[in-house]
A and B are shown apart, each in its own frame.
Chain A
Amino acid sequence: GIQVEQSPPDLILQEGANSTLRCNFSDSVNNLQWFHQNPWGQLINLFYIPSGTKQNGRLSATTVATERYSLLYISSSQTTDPGVYFCAVELNTNAGKSTFGDGTTLTVKP
């Protein structure tokens, strides 16, 4: 099956710092989503981004489908940002069935 690799696995940021999270995938995908799982387990939709670039406040994402990767940018990190950031991809041949990466665990120090 498709391989989804996220890096880094763990990230510690000073409050106010910027960072980039990466998601590599091994096959052509139909769709890609970025999620934030908060400390209570809730998965929050960040971006639905099969290709191109989107921005939402301090977050932005870029997916280059032809090169099989996506990036999530976090700017001016805040103490509300901690949790696990997941990338989930859906194969062209397997619509509706997403494969999740292992996630990046973010800690923000005040």
Chain B
Amino acid sequence: ETGVTQTPRHLVMGMTNKKSLKCEQHLGHNAMYWYKQSAKKPLELMFVYNFKEQTENNSVPSRFSPECPNSSHLFLHLHTLQPEDSALYLCASSQDPGGGNTEAFFGQGTRLTVV
């Protein structure tokens, strides 16, 4: 079992659909992150959760709605997406985001296609 697990691995959705991405970490970390990786672009940080509290929203459109019920689980709820939202969505976790051990570990990603 990998340290950070994402489901589903692939997702195709229409612009009127509602879907959710799930991330679970088994590393005992306190911080979790969502990143977006579009084709030909570097990874972009979307959201940061520290001890279940959102500490960063990097100007992400409201059609992306994160949820962190506890330090081990992170969701990204999707609704009325646009084709340009098609990308690889990566979840990560780290032990201590407050300046201590911030080594990040990533899940396998969800490849999202919006049609």
Contacts and interface: CB of A to CB of B under 8 A. Distances in A.
Interface residues of A, number: 22
Contact of A96 (B42, B94, B108): B94
Instruction: List 10 tightest A-B contacts by C-beta distance, closest first.
Output: A96-B97, A43-B106, A48-B103, A100-B43, A95-B99, A100-B42, A41-B109, A102-B42, A42-B108, A31-B102
A28 B59 CA distance: 24
B8 to A, nearest CB: 13
B35 to A, nearest CB: 8
Nearest to A47: B103
B106 to A, nearest CB: 4
Interface of B: 31, 37, 42-43, 45, 48, 50, 55-56, 88, 90, 92, 94, 97-99, 102-106, 108-109, 111
Contacts, number: 55
Interface SS of B by simple majority? strand
A42 B109 contact: yes
Contacts of A100: 42-43
Interface string A82-102: 000010101000011111111
